[in-house]
Structure 1
Amino acid sequence: MRRYKVETLVEGTVKYYFIRDCETLDIVYFPSKYLKYKIKSHRSPNTVKRAAFAICYYLEYLKEIPMEIPQVYELDLEKQNDHFVNFLYWLKAGNHTEKNNLKVIHNGTCNAYLEDVFRFFLYIEGMDEQLGSLKVLSYNYHFAVNAVGVKKKLRFQAFKGYLQPEERNVRPAEQDEIITILQACTNCRDQLLILLLAETGFRIGEILGVDYVHDIDYQHHLVGVYFREDNENEARAKNAEYRKAKISNDTFEFLMYYLAEYRELLQHQNYLFINITGNTAGQPLKVNSVYDMLGRMEKKTGIDLTPHMLRRYFANMRRKDGWRLELIQQALGHKHLDTTIRYLNIIDDELIEASQEFYEKHSALYGVKELL
């Protein structure tokens, strides 16, 4: 039986996470205080939720060893490193999940949980200076001198035990798949949701946070992403960013049709996407409901479609149409261009073809014939 579990408490529009000791029924003080601190620091609900489960798993791991947090600080650098590496392998083996769960545990997920645990350690170090600091989180410095004699200070974190993350192999959706799913949908809400994901490249959390009163420019057919902390459905724009996307005239007309079709439900609140049946009709649509809908579509059509696949479809369609990488990066809301490049299906054949075209245009770059 698990000793620790994650619980929630909702106050207004804010959801708080805390960890309970199932044997004593007490709230575990420092982890729960840390999670409240993260909420107060305006971290996204999903970020705080992941941190809550990461710390809960780590407490289970400590119970099994057995060891207390102050004892971790007493370990030397090598043993601390082994301690956290063993935690990673404990996670990788699925010890934090139910034994009948056959789901693959990805290395990147394990690393993310450990990073959340490290952030928790940094927090408790700030709260209790007597603990000192984790040796594996210390930094080693040395100076490197470049070719012109300029010194540069290089910093290396002591912990090197992260698992090698797997390459994320998410394919973009295909146009014919999108059309098939659209035709299989039983209502115009689901159809509009898929259309907007395909035409804006927005994340699912961004789409579900759209306010149809304030976030849509009806004159210019623009849909905006705005950062809000109090969305009822916990939708949140990543990186607290703001941007807009233009949609096609056909999709805009379909948007207007949807607003008219569900005007009686929509008039009581401002969220664009809502539940349209049952006791929750008129309430904001949540992420889980979207995945449930796409799951039903997969059973119906045999096509696996996710919001992220539609996001990658958006990126690849724009690249094929000649958009600059910087424009695609801005449209997707990526901080780094490397992230955008990973979204694009630039395969070897395309690279070889592009190289061939380049050399045909610039055949005498280096004057090689004169060297023969």
Structure 2
Amino acid sequence: MIYKVETIKDGTEKYFFIRNLETMSIEELPSKYLMHKIKCKRSPNTVKRTAFSICYYMKYMAEKEMELTEVYQLDYEKQTEYFVEFLYWLKAGNHTEQTSGEKKCPNEGTCNAYLKDVFRFYLFIEAEYEQYGSLKTLSYNQIIAVNQVGVKKVLRNHSFKAYLKEEEHRGRTAKENQIITILQACTNRRDQLLLLMLAETGYRIGELLGVKYVKDIDYRNHMIRVCFREDNENEARAKNAEYRSAKISNDTFEFLMDYLAKYRKILQHQDYLFVNIMGENIGKPLRVDSVYDMLDRMEKKTGVKITPHMLRHYFANMRKQAGWELEMISQALGHKHLDTTIKYLDWLDDELIEASNEFYAQHTAIYGAERLLE
């Protein structure tokens, strides 16, 4: 691979840049953009994904023997064709080095996300260097529409319409018996508590790993708070710079107290709730990759696959079955849009049929259709 994403850590801050492996020099424009993303307080995961998106794009340009700014010289049709080819190049798995000979091809949504990151990079270039103009594929079609009462509204549509068609994605939901199986297979209180709290709070794994047992737990009311922090030692972050709370059950609270008592000698030297309880990193805050490693071990042990995201889906569906309003579930999950929450819920055909049967049983002959047959 010609280009490589590299990182430098300064205290708790991680900086990303792209290196040219032929010249061993740092690519100035992409690295400047990544620094801009960090200064704008974007999450480390967002900056990391952006870094890889641009790195893949630079590899594509190298194969095309083109430079970043040369794309501006192409006409609209050629620019569109150029970026469409990039999408299919990604879809074919050409963006990563293959060691086994079998290419790993990303789905359509991932390919589109990579291209959108590239487009944002170009918008940054245009803002910094006006001499390049703007990409024709990033121009807007503007239409002025007038409604029935004469109010004018400007409708703006992005001119690039060639993204890959994405299949509707619905994440899997963990089942209660699966959660119980994994809990019984866990070999320590920490992992059991982690799973219980994920299932009962609906928090993202990064949010839960950022919880501090002194500051973020209301022991009287059994509430766990998510607090946005940028300097967590384990790089755990609350998404969207949000603050919210969730209540856990009495049983899980008693489990929490038992965990705090059992590992008090380790916990007393820092204030994160979830820490490494053995090994050379004992006492240090638990990281996301360690949680996934633990769940991988549990899958090999039990044959049951569970992820933190599946537990968020479980939380949402359990609350739906309990009669929670959609807006309340959305707020608990920390979603900005109700459409996102709806995708978490398993609206089964049987439920829709049952609801329809109940509706028509109570509202028969709404339209007087039987009289139309006379």
TM (norm. structure 1) is 0.97
Q: Cα distance, 1:102 vs. partner? A: 4.2
- The aligned counterpart of 2:77 is 78
Contact 2:92/2:105, CA 8 A, preserved across alignment: no
The one-letter amino acid paired with 2:225 is G
Q: Distance in 2 between matches of 1:245 and 1:121?
A: 40
The one-letter amino acid paired with 1:24 is T
Aligned pairs (5 A) from 1:72-221: 72-99=71-98, 100=100, 102-221=103-222
C-alpha deviations, 1:56-92, integer Å up to 9, x for none? Answer: 1111111000101121000011111111111111111
C-alpha deviations, 1:122-161, integer Å up to 9, x for none? Answer: 1111111101111111101112233444332111111111
Q: Cα distance, 1:361 vs. partner? A: 1.2
Q: Distance in 2 between matches of 1:133 and 1:370?
A: 63
- The aligned counterpart of 2:38 is 39
CA RMSD, 1 decimal: 1.2
Q: Distance in 1 between matches of 2:104 and 2:5?
A: 20
- The aligned counterpart of 2:279 is 278
Q: Cα distance, 1:293 vs. partner? A: 0.4
- The aligned counterpart of 1:310 is 311
- The aligned counterpart of 1:233 is 234
Q: Cα distance, 1:169 vs. partner? A: 3.4
Contact 2:207/2:236, CA 8 A, preserved across alignment: yes
- The answer for unaligned runs of 5 or more in structure 1 is none
Aligned pairs (5 A) from 1:5-20: 5-20=4-19
SS in 2 for 1:244: strand
C-alpha deviations, 1:25-75, integer Å up to 9, x for none? Answer: 111111111111111111000000000001111111110001011210000
The one-letter amino acid paired with 2:198 is L
- The aligned counterpart of 2:363 is 362
Contact 2:170/2:344, CA 8 A, preserved across alignment: no
SS in 1 for 2:85: helix
Q: Cα distance, 1:370 vs. partner? A: 4.5
- The aligned counterpart of 2:255 is 254
Q: Cα distance, 1:369 vs. partner? A: 4.1
Deviates more, 1:247-256 or 1:34-43: 34-43
Query: Within the alignment, does 1:68 sit opposite 2:71 as a pair?
Result: no
Q: Distance in 2 between matches of 1:105 and 1:268?
A: 43
- The aligned counterpart of 1:296 is 297
Q: Distance in 2 between matches of 1:152 and 1:160?
A: 22
Q: Distance in 2 between matches of 1:368 and 1:148?
A: 35
Deviates more, 1:355-364 or 1:78-87: 355-364
Q: Distance in 2 between matches of 1:219 and 1:364?
A: 54
Q: Cα distance, 1:103 vs. partner? A: 3.2
Q: Cα distance, 1:348 vs. partner? A: 1.4
The one-letter amino acid paired with 2:97 is E
Q: Cα distance, 1:368 vs. partner? A: 3.6
Q: Distance in 1 between matches of 2:132 and 2:103?
A: 39
Q: Distance in 2 between matches of 1:107 and 1:263?
A: 47
- The aligned counterpart of 1:50 is 49
Q: Distance in 1 between matches of 2:65 and 2:195?
A: 49
SS in 1 for 2:125: helix
- How many residues in Structure 1 have an aligned counterpart in Structure 2? 371
Q: Distance in 1 between matches of 2:84 and 2:105?
A: 19
Q: Distance in 2 between matches of 1:176 and 1:261?
A: 27
The one-letter amino acid paired with 1:279 is E
- The aligned counterpart of 1:287 is 288
Identity percentage of aligned residues: 67
TM (norm. structure 2) is 0.97
